[in-house]
Amino acid sequence: MPEARKTAGRLPGPMRLWILVVPRALVLATIVLSALAGAQSQNLTRVDTPEEESAMGADSAPPGNWRKILPQNRANPAEGLSEEEIEALDAIGYLGGYEEGPEKIGVTIYDPKGAYNGYNLYIAGHAYEASLVDMNGQVVHTWQYDISSHYNVPPERRYWRRVQLLPDGGLLALCERAIPGGGIIRLDKDSNLLWSSELEYGLHHDLFVTGDGTIYALGKSFKKIPSLHETLSIIDDIVIVLDSEGHLLDRYSILEAFKKSPFAEDMLGKIAAFFHKIDTTSGVSEAFHTNTIEVLDGTLAHRSPYLKKNNILGCSPTHHNAWIIDGETHEVVWNWFGPWRNIHEFTMLDSGNFLMFHNYGYNGPNGQVSQAIEYDFLSKEEVWKYQGDPERPESEFRSWTSSTVERLPNGNTLIVVSESGRAIEVTPGGDVVWEFFNPHRAGDEKQFIATLFQLLRVGPEYDLNWLNDPSAAPK
């Protein structure tokens, strides 16, 4: 199992895609060109996909990352597009739009007997802030810190992308930006800054903390690779390893990890085909768009040598694959191009199975519905699935981007549907025993909801003595 599950919990999985319902040519141009725009190689600016841009214009959201609340009967954003157009959009890794936001706020369902009780740590696109709330949604503690003096962050990125609660009540927060830019900060329980990492690798999406305090994160680097594309500057994802004080210990390329693996031919072929399918006029594109990093603790090595200690899990929504990198040789030792379209949060379970959020899911009666799916690691057979409540609107379990899954100690599954601003806890039988809607809204008519990037259950296995300390009183 992953080491951090034993201590401070999983740091789940990326991004926000905004597309207005406009004529198909404009939709295609907006997504493709915006997703690939930006970044002169000399200033190493990271590509910002449309999903990473805020709503603009008169009906605009405030700084941060927000979704517009639209009527429940809004059409599927892919409806009316040709197969060729859909394929081009899908090649980018995201096909989405303004997702319907809910009118509900806070905790709307809570079954104390069926739920795994504790607190809930969450972050959203509204601010540099993390909140700890009880099972009824009451805030018991917050962490806040404006990182703008440390990192060059534009208005649309004014939030924390991932956080990790530490045993002393401190917090690690990943601040996503560009190359150079972004990083990780360490706060104490009272939101005082203890350190900030000084990196130039454009940290993004996810971070993971092992039992000894080592920090793993995802970064980006630019390179020219004529064998993949003659002219493009290619953005490669890299694994970043820091010590508990934020000092760089190691870094290595995910592309190079594939190149020296048995999967090199297939992976490089898919990347090259992807580059030749998309509009490359911007001169830059991403090889993977990796959105998950997780480090194994070795307790499952008896099931497979691929699951040995310090091996690293990752996944790509662009190529619809999940992989394991050997932590010593930095070589991909396991890879699966699965039956999915756009995935997030590839995570190992104590059972040796793995769980993931399948963003594109399946086509329901009134639109696409996402899925949470569990697979047997060895046979790759599906063993469990949740795909929403047929009695509820599809939009409540649909997120084209981001989203996370976490298996709780009682066997329930905690699922974050990022674009809906919703988190639910479901039983193995699919019953919802806890439901939470992000309370952070904006706009004259509260027509925007902040994207819910992460929500973790902080159960009785956590040491929360710091919370009972008078100096840690709710803020």
Q: What pLDDT digit, counting tens, does each position of 156-206 carry?
A: 788 999 999 999 999 999 998 756 667 899 999 999 999 999 787 888 999
Q: Tell me how crowded residue 2 is: count the other CB atoms within 10 A of its CB.
A: 23
322's tokens:
């999940």
Look at residue 22 in the predicted model and tell me its pLDDT. Answer: 30
Q: Specify whether the CB–CB gap between 139 and 132 falls below 8 A.
A: yes
Look at residue 308 in the predicted model and tell me its pLDDT. Answer: 97
N residues, the chain = 475
Q: Which residue has the higher pLDDT, 66 or 469?
A: 66
Interval 355-370 mean pLDDT: 88
- Going from the N-terminus, what domains does the chain have, and what CATH number goes with each? 3-469 (2.120.10.30)
pTM above 0.75, yes or no: yes
Look at residue 180 in the predicted model and tell me its pLDDT. Answer: 61
Please provide the average confidence, as pLDDT, over all residues in the chain: 81
Look at residue 365 in the predicted model and tell me its pLDDT. Answer: 78
Cα separation, 465 vs 83, in Å, equals 56
Q: Which helix H or strand E contains 29, and what residues bound it?
A: helix 24-36
DSSP state of 303: T
Strands (E), 317-443: 321-325, 332-337, 343-348, 354-364, 367-375, 382-386, 404-407, 413-417, 422-426, 432-437, 441-442
DSSP state of 361: E
Q: Which residue has the higher pLDDT, 397 or 50?
A: 397
Which residues have a Cβ under 8 Å from the Cβ of 96 and sit 6 or more positions away?
17, 19, 51, 77, 400, 401, 419
Q: Which residue has the higher pLDDT, 156 or 305?
A: 305
- Give the angle subtended at the CA of 183 by the CAs of 180 and 184, to the nearest 5°: 170
Look at residue 2 in the predicted model and tell me its pLDDT. Answer: 55
Tell me: pLDDT of 27 over 90: no
Look at residue 201 in the predicted model and tell me its pLDDT. Answer: 80
Cα separation, 419 vs 396, in Å, equals 9
Distances (CA, A) of 279 to 15, 34, 92: 20, 10, 10
* Axis crossing angle, helix 83-92 with helix 24-36, rounded to the nearest 10: 20
Interval 434-444 mean pLDDT: 93
Tell me: pLDDT of 137 over 80: yes
